[in-house]
Amino acid sequence: MSRLQLGVFASGRGSNFKSILKEIKGGRLDADIKLLITNNKDAGVLKIASLNSIHCAVMKRSDFKMREDFITKMLTVLKSRGVEFIVLAGYMKKIPPEVISKYKHRILNIHPALLPCFGGRGMYGTNVHRAVLESGCKLTGVTVHLVDNQYDHGPIVNQKSIPVKNNDTAEKLAARVLKGEHEIYPQTIQLFAEGRVKIYGKKVIIKKK
């Protein structure tokens, strides 16, 4: 089985990036991270990538006069590093449609709630957990889904539920959900590495081993 060649897009501290790397190093994820793309030159994830000798590209739309040049640069760097599968790990920008169509069904995102609830524009960070608490839901969780042209909308590949506790705050809940993210994101990427994911429109089926 060949190893999945990953490009990770991230904007922040990079705890998911770290957990993916840990599973790769531990031999539980048959993949290599070939590239990190970030829009944020101060992102903590850059430090993790450089410490692990992973190629980094800081790419901001505002650094390019023409949108086309930004997209061409993004596609060129992805190709030059041999990226065949993209993982979004806290990337705070929309992926250009040109990149989505080039990597059709090969871009994953992780969301800190059970989609299709608590997703979409503005639903990121503690906003999500605050909305969950306000709703009175007894369950929240993590969703790993394929990326399409709408926020938090593509086919759902994997989910993990996490109970909401009576004394939860958004911060406490965020910490438990993040732990769940670190478990299921590498596991879900491994399903792709094993070629076990079949996509039928919005429905995704995981083939048995």
Our answer to whether residue 111 is catalytic in this structure is: yes
Q: How far is the CB of 151 from ligand GRF (least distance, A)?
A: 11
Burial 113-139 (b: 16+ CB within 10 A, else e): bbbebbbeeebbeeebbbbbbeeebee
Tokens for 118? 């608590």
Q: According to the binding rule CB under 6 A, does residue 181 interact with ligand GRF?
A: yes
Length in residues, the chain: 209
Q: How far is the CB of 59 from ligand GRF (least distance, A)?
A: 17
124/142 Cα distance (integer angstroms) = 12
Out of 111, 129, 145, 182, the active site residue is: 111
157/30 Cα distance (integer angstroms) = 18
- What's at 53, amino acid-wise? S
Site string for ligand GRF, 99-138 (x = CB under 6 A): -----------xxx--------------------------
Among 4, 7, 8, 12, binds ligand GRF (CB under 6 A): 12
Nearest CB to ligand GRF, comparing residues 39 and 198? 39
# binding residues, ligand GRF (CB under 6 A): 13
